[in-house]
Structure 1
Amino acid sequence: MPVTGAGFIKRLAQLSMCAGIALVPVVVQAAEDDPWEGVNRAIFRFNDVVDTYTLKPIAQGYQYIAPQFVEDGVHNFFNNIGDVGNLANNVLQAKPAAAGTDTARLIFNTTFGLLGFIDVGTHMGLQRSEEDFGQTLGYWGVPSGPFVMLPLLGPSTVRDTISRVPDSYATPYRYIDHVPTRNSALGVNMVDTRASLLPAEKMIQGDKYTFIRNAYLQNREFKVKDGQVEDDF
């Protein structure tokens, strides 16, 4: 049956209404996850400027200068340090198998892997887990709370922000009294972390803030639930 001008306009209005109704859950969910979006966006813009003119160029220069084996070795070294926190949080989450793997990785990588510069554990089939206290709280049912954009530190949530304090006790930096050594180690770790994120920038589409926020929240949910999440696309 032919569609008249009035009928077309009526049909278009119906489709627009359906589309609007379909988008309501998405808008409501975004508002619930990010009630402080205005402040978060302002902090994000500040972080983006700092990153654009300092951290990113330094990371790119590091990748350009450092041979790949050096870059891999540094990354493995800091991963080995991070396995201490992984072990502690797997114990707190009552995951004996994962905690045993973390222990084995620490032993083999620290000894045969020359303090972790060589990832012997992965070559032995001991897969690395990534755990932190925020995931531990989430594992035991503590809600994440609203999304938070931290100055210089980037995306987080209320739960993950608070968890940074206990997580710091599983890192060596707190116990290094020599300030230049501590700051140098933190600086190298920061550059290594930023360099490892360079390839991920190609994935960013649309509004940068929204993309990073959603990617962070989805990634955290994935980690807290050990990958047992439903795709609600």
Structure 2
Amino acid sequence: MPSLKCSPALIRHATLLLAVSYLVGCSSPAPVASARCAQVDYPVFDPAQRVNRGIFAFNKAVDDYALAPVARGYRHLPNVFQQGVHNFTTNFAEPKVFVNDLLQGNLKRSANTLGRFTVNTTLGLVGLIDVSDPMGIPRHTADFGQTFGVWGIGNGPIVELPLLGTGNARDAAGRVLGLAFNPFGNNSDSLQTLATTSLVGGVIDQRAELLPLTDSLQKLPDYYSALRDVVAEHRAAFVLEGKQGSTQPEKDRCQGATRDGF
């Protein structure tokens, strides 16, 4: 009887399916305070709400029974392990941030990202240790949805995609492009293994980080609209951050303003 062997491509595809499920409507809404600090407008146009709610119910079931339980278990692991996973996965994502910095025409941000990736990959043992923050090189994020927004592309209607979650049409297109884009290429089995490891670790780490927010939103009468509006608010602030081109994330500047009494 022939033995069963999983090809690297099959493993990557299965992992990708798990990865996108963490977006089950979350779409990175963690830095909500940054949007409020920036006082941005975040119009919500949801003409297909009935269809979106149906897909949202499916996404929520996937999250409730698959990813969220894993994320809750992950939060009980030693902090040093969680920090190492966080550092490694965020460092591995820096090349995509770098590409978007360049596409946004921001040389300062791209130089900042390249410096972080170089230092953390070498001195930080492939990114397991974040040595850039103590050196005064703060991390910011960027993605294709933000880049489209910086280019002036409008939000479009709200779109709830199976496994990809809630977002406007512009960000949904950017999310799909981001999943397909591989800055490292596919020529090295070692890089593919690292990419798969980073993908799985990043999914679990980010979902664990979002648990307090999603748990609080689920207590509200309408989880769908609450999460949709939080995502819209955050993404509006995120696009504004890209347009401003600061190397210091908006949420950090907001916290600084709060401490200074503004």
TM over 0.5: yes
Residue of 237, 250, 254 corresponding to 1:222: 237
Equivalent in the alignment of 2:203 = 190
Q: Which runs of 5+ in 1 are unaligned?
A: 1-28
Structure 1 74/210 Cα, relative in aligned 2: closer, same or farther at 3 Å?
same
Is 1:143 aligned to 2:143, yes or no? no
Between 1:87-96 and 1:203-212, the stretch displaced more is 203-212
The Cα shift of 1:126 comes to: 1.1
Decide which structure has the larger Cα Rg and report it: 1
Per-residue Cα deviation, 1:67-123 (whole angstroms, up to 9, x for no partner): 111111101111111211111111111111111110110011111111111111112
2:231 partner amino acid: Y
Equivalent residues, number: 199
- Distance in 1 between residues matched to 2:198 and 2:159, nearest whole Å: 26
Equivalent in the alignment of 1:208 = 223
Equivalent in the alignment of 1:39 = 51
Report SS of the residue matched to 2:159.
Answer: strand
Is 1:79 aligned to 2:115, yes or no? no
Aligned-pair identity in percent equals 38
Structure 1 110/49 Cα, relative in aligned 2: closer, same or farther at 3 Å?
same
1:149 partner amino acid: E
1:96 partner amino acid: L
Is 1:53 aligned to 2:65, yes or no? yes
Structure 1 156/174 Cα, relative in aligned 2: closer, same or farther at 3 Å?
farther
1:80-229 alignment to 2 at 5 Å?
Answer: 80-167=91-178, 168-170=180-182, 181=193, 185-204=198-217, 205-226=220-241
Report SS of the residue matched to 1:220.
Answer: helix
1:81 partner amino acid: F
Equivalent in the alignment of 1:19 = none
Report SS of the residue matched to 2:50.
Answer: helix
TM-score calculated relative to the size of structure 2:
0.68
- Distance in 2 between residues matched to 1:228 and 1:88, nearest whole Å: 15
- Distance in 2 between residues matched to 1:132 and 1:30, nearest whole Å: 18
The Cα shift of 1:48 comes to: 1.2
Structure 1 164/115 Cα, relative in aligned 2: closer, same or farther at 3 Å?
same
The Cα shift of 1:162 comes to: 1.7
Report SS of the residue matched to 1:55.
Answer: helix
- Distance in 2 between residues matched to 1:166 and 1:154, nearest whole Å: 15
> RMSD across aligned C-alpha pairs, in angstroms?
2.7
**Paired residues of 1:90 and 1:98 also in contact (CA < 8 A):** yes
1:124 partner amino acid: M
